[in-house]
Structure 1
Amino acid sequence: MQRLTRWMTRLALLALLLFAIGAALLVVTPTGQNLVTEARNRSPQELIRYLKRRLEGHNKLEAVLLPPLHAAQRHFEREPPAGPLPSLGKGQQATTLQAPIAGIVQELRVDSPQAIRQALRDAKAGTRILIAPGLYPFDRNLGLGNDGRSNAPIVLSTERPGTVWLQFAQLNGIVVDRPHWVFENLDIQGVCSDPGDCEHAFHVVGGGAFTTIRNNRISDFNAHIKVNGSEGIWPDRGLLAHNTLTNTAPRSGDAPVVAFDLVGANHWRVQDNVVTDIVHSSPKWTTYGIYMKGASEGGRIERNLVVCSSKNISAPGVRVGISFGGGSTGAAFCRDGSCAGFEHRLGLAANNIVAHCNDTGLDVNQSNQIVLAHNTLINTSGVATRGSLARARLYGNLYEGVARARDGSQITAEFNEKLRPGATLMNTDGLLLGWQHTPERIPSFKSLQDDFHRQLRAPGSLPGAMSQ
């Protein structure tokens, strides 16, 4: 195994050496000058993709450089192991979550698509809408009729996870524009004839503050959960917890692909979810597992497992794990009307495991006062900050790749540790994450009480998402 690793490393270095020779031969041309500039600013993964694009049409250079570039890509972007990866206790749970929803005073039982639609319109504060086991197809957006209250929410649920399946063949599954609604224990799938037409399972918008979406399995949407404002009203302080968000095939069409897509809403918590296979079929798209942007603030992204690609990691396109900022937001969609000061601020990403992304595991784009603490990044290019507004503090992370501040951004780094595949953890790519080589302990981040598994962090903790 060590001999094979050395051989792959030498081949990857050979590819980059051949690139340097090719760039030198072209240095007097605009293409050569661009190659040199890009080599200074990009991770190996980014550079390989960039080189492939720039070499198109240069037949002689393609013949020389493409074979070692493919070999280098296989070295820097390791293919995930075959078969399902473990969920590590995250995502939808097989039993109802132990924490009950308080304030329920009546129950409304439904057993047909028509009854579900009507109940969503009629239910009053303090009602639990309980769906009977079965399969329920819909082809028109579902809307809500009344507000819940903090002491009397409205709940759409089933008694046991894995017994109710909602199939949505419409643009938006459920439009959540009323406060204090809870959706739990559901299996939801997009089944549009043109897959790109299934935009969102939940569109939380405008007045949908204090929404809770927990313990659901949601598949085959462009943006499974979309959160944004409407007419100056913003759905703040939501919770996305213990959901499995995945796609069974790459998405098509012209819509962004982001499992959790938050624009402008404040103080959302995204915790203990599994996000997998958030991929677009077109090479021009950058897809994200989770992002928060649009002049939002105070988001907490904690204890999630994000696997950008469970197979075909080097397929065309760019895939990012967790981002504050994402792609830039049009001014009309920004909470402050411009996003001139920040895309997100006062955000925290902590105790997450991000794996098998062909770009960054953690990304900060034009966002400031961002803390990235005790995360573990596996088979990604590492961490990047981008844009002159970006400011991030990296504390106690365990990661492959590099931490790179680009375009005038700034990174403050403390107590981070490099992850060495095959040496640090038992089976890194297979997510069997027992320690093979235990790093030195570091001071725990003061505001983080627990780790990925919700185990208490001792004053002297290990870097990365797991404290033991």
Structure 2
Amino acid sequence: MKPFPRKLLIWTLAAGVAAALLLVYLLLRQFEFEKIRDEYKERTAGELIRYARIRLMGHELLETVMLPALAAIESGIERPIPSSQMPSLSKGQQSFGLAPPRFLAKGQAQAEPATPLPYETPGGVNEVRVTSSAELFRAMQKAQAGQTILIAPGRYAITRPLLTGAAGEAQFPIQVRANKPGTVRLEVSSPVGFRVAHPFWVFENLNLRGVCEEQAHCEHAFHIVGSARSSVLRNNAMEDFNAHVRVNGEGEGKDQAWPDDGLLQFNSFSNSRPRTTQRVVAPIDLVGVSRWRVLDNHITGFAKSLGNQTAYGLLIRGGGHGGRVERNLLVCSSQPGSSPGIRVGLSFGGSSGDKKLCREQCGIEHSAGLASNNVIAHCNDFGIDINQATSILLAHNSLINTAGIDVRSAQSSATVYGNLLDGRIRERDGARANAGMNEVHDLRQQLQNPDGLDLRWRHRVDSVPTLPMVLNDFCGQVRGASSLPGALKGPVADCFINTAAVKELP
């Protein structure tokens, strides 16, 4: 065999070295490594990977070499999600009906405990029974204060938005309901299922699913707008929408109205696959409204595969104030394997939105908001995000397998107290976070099986004083003078029952 020519070997090595130097030069030029070096300690690994992907766009050579490596690194740093189905921890739609809706003196809806009641409610002169989509549409148009529209069990094709036709009253709300949860299934092929534009309407015990031929066309199960103050959604299940519940103002100038003082309680939100849309993906999207209460809901499995690829579990923005987010279970990814894009748990502010939707000028996205006693898990970005929001209280939340809590932008300020999390508590870009009594750990060492939502303590920590605004825990149990950090007041949660096993009442 003829020996390899020495000159050719030298030239081959030289060419290899030159190629390597060229690649290093391109990387240094493209990635601004000095900037990355300065910000490395502030950025999460996921943020650095996303930054790298953006910088690689349009550079075929670098994409060919680097993208597979970045994908491998990303799959290595994302913690595996359990293959077994995760429990609902008694949140979301219950298998039984709830107590009749009540409203406080100022018109705000009263939250109710998950107490089983008989499915059948007494009929009366104010009850209208419907057995078809057409009858439901007409009944909603003709409804009067104090009426109940009772939908018979069955499947209903919703091909056009169902519109409210008149206002209810605090003492006489208009109700649209099924007697038994899970018996009425509305298959929505229009962009919106229900469009609510009048106050004091209550929707409960319904199951809605988006079935549009083009997935992006199924926008909202409920779109609550304008004058629809004190709207209530209770004990419903919604699947396969971009933003299952969207709430925003309507009109301009003096005619502009905002649907404040609403209630979302014991609802289940999910998507069967990532949403192929350029629009906002957030199962709950509250824009510009004030004093909404979001309690005891189960939000799971949301991702966005187009556009900015950023999805939020719960998004509050647009310039309102006084929103309360309490006792919810939010799981960004519920199935093994990585979903596309960025998945954020709860955000006050989100990213920069459409200023036309803002309550005023949107200098502040939300003020005086509260997020407490929530369990947020398996988000490849931050579990709680504060952006251009002020005077936000984050207290006694448990964040599992997320990047932690992020308070960002010069306008943002937050009190971060008594939370339990892995990841970090980060303030950046001039934000102000007053943090105290938080516990930041690898929760797999502290709890029995946090990734599987078994939140019993393995090695408990010291209790912290109870805040006046957070007197109860994730289960609704009284905390007392002091309690453990995180969503649960003690080492064991008595409320984690299998609601499906609750005996049906006659």
Compute the TM-score of the two structures, normalised by the length of structure 2: 0.83
- Map 1:207-218 onto structure 2 (within 5 A): 207-218=227-238
Q: Which moved more, 1:127-136 or 1:34-43?
A: 34-43
- How far residue 73 of structure 1 moved from its aligned partner, in angstroms, is 3.0
Contact persistence 1:220–1:248 (CA under 8 A):
yes
Q: Which of 336, 339, 344 is the aligned partner of 2:362?
A: 339
When residues 168 and 400 of structure 1 are mapped into structure 2, their CA distance, relative to the original with a 3 A threshold, is same
Quick one: distance in 2 between partners of 1:331 and 1:416? 35
> Which residue does the alignment assign to 1:452?
474
Q: Which of 242, 251, 275 is the aligned partner of 2:275?
A: 251
Quick one: distance in 1 between partners of 2:408 and 2:399? 18
Bigger-Rg structure (1/2) = 2
| Corresponding residue SS for 2:334 | coil
Q: Which of 295, 301, 313 is the aligned partner of 2:325?
A: 301
Amino acid at match of 2:167: D
Amino acid at match of 1:112: S
Contact persistence 2:30–2:55 (CA under 8 A):
no
Amino acid at match of 2:196: V
- How far residue 105 of structure 1 moved from its aligned partner, in angstroms, is 6.5
> Which residue does the alignment assign to 1:160?
180
When residues 358 and 122 of structure 1 are mapped into structure 2, their CA distance, relative to the original with a 3 A threshold, is same
Render the CA deviation track for 1:391-415: whole Å, top value 9, x for unaligned. 0110000011111112111111010
- Map 1:82-121 onto structure 2 (within 5 A): 82-97=83-98, 99-101=99-101, 106-121=126-141
- How far residue 31 of structure 1 moved from its aligned partner, in angstroms, is 3.3
Contact persistence 1:23–1:36 (CA under 8 A):
no
- Map 1:109-188 onto structure 2 (within 5 A): 109-188=129-208
When residues 134 and 61 of structure 1 are mapped into structure 2, their CA distance, relative to the original with a 3 A threshold, is closer
When residues 210 and 34 of structure 1 are mapped into structure 2, their CA distance, relative to the original with a 3 A threshold, is same
Contact persistence 1:188–1:217 (CA under 8 A):
yes
When residues 137 and 26 of structure 1 are mapped into structure 2, their CA distance, relative to the original with a 3 A threshold, is closer
Contact persistence 1:24–1:32 (CA under 8 A):
no
The number of aligned residues is 443
Q: Which of 340, 344, 360 is the aligned partner of 2:382?
A: 360
When residues 53 and 118 of structure 1 are mapped into structure 2, their CA distance, relative to the original with a 3 A threshold, is same
Quick one: distance in 1 between partners of 2:247 and 2:56? 40
Structure 2: runs of 5 or more not aligned = 1-22, 104-123, 491-506
Quick one: distance in 2 between partners of 1:83 and 1:30? 40
Quick one: distance in 2 between partners of 1:373 and 1:193? 42
Quick one: distance in 2 between partners of 1:146 and 1:326? 34
> Which residue does the alignment assign to 1:18?
none
| Corresponding residue SS for 1:422 | helix
Amino acid at match of 1:467: K
Q: Which moved more, 1:276-285 or 1:351-360?
A: 276-285
| Corresponding residue SS for 2:46 | helix
- Map 1:420-431 onto structure 2 (within 5 A): 420-431=442-453
Contact persistence 2:386–2:412 (CA under 8 A):
yes
> Which residue does the alignment assign to 1:236?
260
> Which residue does the alignment assign to 1:6?
none
> Which residue does the alignment assign to 1:51?
52
Contact persistence 2:303–2:340 (CA under 8 A):
no
Render the CA deviation track for 1:105-129: whole Å, top value 9, x for unaligned. 7211111111111111111111111
Quick one: distance in 2 between partners of 1:213 and 1:90? 14
When residues 44 and 105 of structure 1 are mapped into structure 2, their CA distance, relative to the original with a 3 A threshold, is farther
Quick one: distance in 2 between partners of 1:285 and 1:451? 33
- How far residue 255 of structure 1 moved from its aligned partner, in angstroms, is 1.1
- Map 1:264-413 onto structure 2 (within 5 A): 264-282=288-306, 284-311=308-335, 314-336=338-360, 338-340=361-363, 342-413=364-435
Q: Which moved more, 1:280-289 or 1:147-156?
A: 280-289
Amino acid at match of 2:315: Y
- How far residue 39 of structure 1 moved from its aligned partner, in angstroms, is 2.2
When residues 23 and 369 of structure 1 are mapped into structure 2, their CA distance, relative to the original with a 3 A threshold, is farther
Quick one: distance in 2 between partners of 1:254 and 1:246? 19
Amino acid at match of 2:402: T
Quick one: distance in 1 between partners of 2:38 and 2:25? 12
- How far residue 80 of structure 1 moved from its aligned partner, in angstroms, is 1.0
Compute the TM-score of the two structures, normalised by the length of structure 1: 0.90
Quick one: distance in 1 between partners of 2:281 and 2:393? 25
Quick one: distance in 2 between partners of 1:162 and 1:431? 25
| Corresponding residue SS for 1:155 | strand
When residues 430 and 286 of structure 1 are mapped into structure 2, their CA distance, relative to the original with a 3 A threshold, is same
- How far residue 33 of structure 1 moved from its aligned partner, in angstroms, is 3.3
Q: Which moved more, 1:310-319 or 1:124-133?
A: 310-319
Quick one: distance in 1 between partners of 2:337 and 2:29? 35
> Which residue does the alignment assign to 2:79?
78
Amino acid at match of 1:332: K
Give the percent of matched residue pairs that are identical in Structure 1 and Structure 2: 44
Render the CA deviation track for 1:327-361: whole Å, top value 9, x for unaligned. 2233221111x112x10000000000000100000
| Corresponding residue SS for 2:407 | strand
Contact persistence 1:443–1:460 (CA under 8 A):
yes
| Corresponding residue SS for 1:95 | coil
> Which residue does the alignment assign to 2:112?
none
Q: Which moved more, 1:276-285 or 1:220-229?
A: 276-285
> Which residue does the alignment assign to 2:12?
none
Quick one: distance in 1 between partners of 2:231 and 2:322? 16
Render the CA deviation track for 1:130-183: whole Å, top value 9, x for unaligned. 111000101111111110000000000011001000111001111100000000
Structure 1: runs of 5 or more not aligned = 1-21
Contact persistence 2:160–2:189 (CA under 8 A):
yes
Contact persistence 2:385–2:407 (CA under 8 A):
yes
- How far residue 51 of structure 1 moved from its aligned partner, in angstroms, is 2.8
